[in-house]
Chain A
Amino acid sequence: MLVCLHAAPPGGSPLTANDREALRLARSLGEDTEVVALMAGTKDEHAALEAAWAWGVDRAARVSGESFAAADFHTLGQVLGSAARTLGADLILGGARSDTEGLGALTASIARHMSLPHLANIESLERYDHPPLAVAVTLRGSGRKRRIGARLPFVMSVARGSAESDLALPAREGTPSIETLAVFDPEVTVIRRRTEILGSSAKVEREPRAVASAAELLEALQPRR
């Protein structure tokens, strides 16, 4: 079981809410499931891994290289997919919005690079020992809430959970043990950054307009165009 983490914005928890939910679901499969936390980046960017280790994952690993914080999802998925293949995971989780741009495309990219099926926005995960199905998940879409049985291996993105389901505080003390992985895949000759597919940036200056009444407020919110 692999949980792909992302560097949280500075100033808050080192683990994003999405990543905390992914770790919680990973552990919910039982103590006999090895949970590995994985992240790509430099030594200065692995606070999330240290937090996951303190919380109690079985292993924490960093894919070494230059900073991937601004990498596009095609690139990052290629890197993490290569590492996941090395680690031999049969279930890979990632937060649905755990990427710098909040696109929710990283786990689909990992799945594509590993030639594995993908499910988006799961809300629960449990063992489902009815071979060939191994796990059961809950997800929503098209007006339905469904429980789906899945045959591993699989890559899944995890929807953010409610505050009540959030992780307990870190429990493990001591110096975090973070393994370092080098990307090695004989089929990967070039990891090409495609940052142009993220789009160009434009800062927005937006000053709120003050209104004096509730009626003016609702009037101002009438549909545009």
Chain B
Amino acid sequence: MFALSEARRIAHAAGLTVFALLLDEPQASANLESLADALGRAGADRILVCEAAGLGAPPLDATHGPALYTAVERVPPMVVLFPTGGPGDELGPSLAMRLGAAYAPSVDIVLSEEAGPLADGVGRIHLRRWRADRSGYRQLDPVEIERPVIAIMGAHGTPRQDGTSDIDVEVITCTAPADPPLSELASEPDDLDTVAQARGLVVLGPQVPPEVAARLRANAPAGVVVVDDSTAPRALAAASPERVLNAGDVAAVTEIAVSPRTAIGVVDLDGSGAATYGAPGRVRPDVVWNAGAKTEAWSELEAAWSASR
């Protein structure tokens, strides 16, 4: 829903239409009305529903890619925006290949501040992401590059309700692949999905006493997940939180898919962290607390933590 809110914010400033796209099993009309209400309020101007047997399963390009392409071609879009923690890293690159588009994960969307008409070849919407070595940004303007941009929203946020429920729903009958080269053998809930969906991540280093780590985990505010070096890199790579707190200069923080909008804080225990700020792969933090090698630092952090809930 946050992705829809952001799409509405930028699209309406740029004079564009927001399409919400759903791939699913054939739906009853009552369900479609309910969807229209929710997605319209979140910011969609129109809804495209691509229906076919099998599309209700977790999306993979081999099973959902062709249907997605069919639906997207109907628009055709300037930007295709996947939500944070969604199927973008599975579907986005292949869609970019099919469309000849640019691709950008963990983006922040920036609107041009120019009030009047823009020059030819300059667009009002820019998508911004960190470079791989986090030394700077890459910025994409769909108008300048004359091709669409497939992007994954970076940094979860609070969705707004700026839209209206009175919007059109168009149902497209898509065709799922008749003989997909895949077969699901087993499926279970992903206990690390909370990491990908977290709005805040706290990354604990080995210096954090285990009992402190346990209390921080138990008292974490809603939407905040506590991780450490043992957390699967794949789960961290799928996370794009609004806030990251690095307590103890943890290498695992480089795995997190931060966006330019992500606020990054560091608890520096002995002053040595400054040497790693800006190291390849690390974003320089926004704020640093030089706690020193003092045991009461953890008590102070826990107290502030509890007060912030």
> Which A residues are within 8 Å of any B CB, using their own CB?
9, 11, 17, 73-74, 77, 96-97, 99-105, 107-109, 111-112, 117-121, 123, 128, 133, 136, 140-152, 154, 159-163, 196-204, 206-218, 220-225
Contacts and interface: CB of A to CB of B under 8 A. Distances in A.
B97 A211 contact: no
B93 A209 contact: no
Contact of A112 (B97, B133, B186): B97
Contacts of A150: 181-183
Contacts of A119: 60-62, 90, 182
Nearest to A136: B185
Contacts of B16: none
A195 to B, nearest CB: 10
A105 B301 contact: no
B181 A120 contact: no
Given A9-B133, A197-B147, A211 B287 contact: yes
13 contacts: A140-B192, A143-B193, A145-B187, A146-B184, A159-B234, A197-B140, A199-B145, A200-B140, A209-B288, A213-B289, A214-B297, A214-B300, A216-B289
Contacts of B230: 162
Contacts of B145: 196-197, 199
Given A196-B144, A225-B261, 16 more contacts: A77-B97, A96-B237, A105-B93, A117-B181, A148-B182, A150-B182, A160-B255, A163-B229, A197-B102, A197-B103, A201-B136, A208-B286, A210-B288, A211-B289, A220-B265, A223-B242
Contacts of A217: 245, 265, 267, 287, 289, 301, 304
A215 B132 contact: no
B56 to A, nearest CB: 10
A186 to B, nearest CB: 21
B290 A210 contact: yes
B181 A144 contact: no
B87 to A, nearest CB: 6
Contacts of B209: none
Nearest to B194: A143
B12 interface: no
Given A150-B182, A160-B234, A143 B190 contact: yes
Nearest to B242: A223
B163 interface: no
Determine the main DSSP class of B at the interface with A. mixed
Interface stretch (B41-49, B165-173, B277-285): B277-285
B194 to A, nearest CB: 9
B132 A146 contact: no
Contact of B103 (A73, A161, A196, A200): A73
A118 B132 contact: no
A13 to B, nearest CB: 13
B295 to A, nearest CB: 13
Contact of B94 (A100, A112, A141): A112
A200 B110 CA distance: 14
- List of 8 A-B pairs having minimum Cβ-Cβ separation, nearest first: A102-B132, A108-B93, A142-B58, A105-B93, A199-B138, A112-B97, A197-B102, A159-B234
A214 B189 contact: no
A6 to B, nearest CB: 10
Contacts of A133: 183
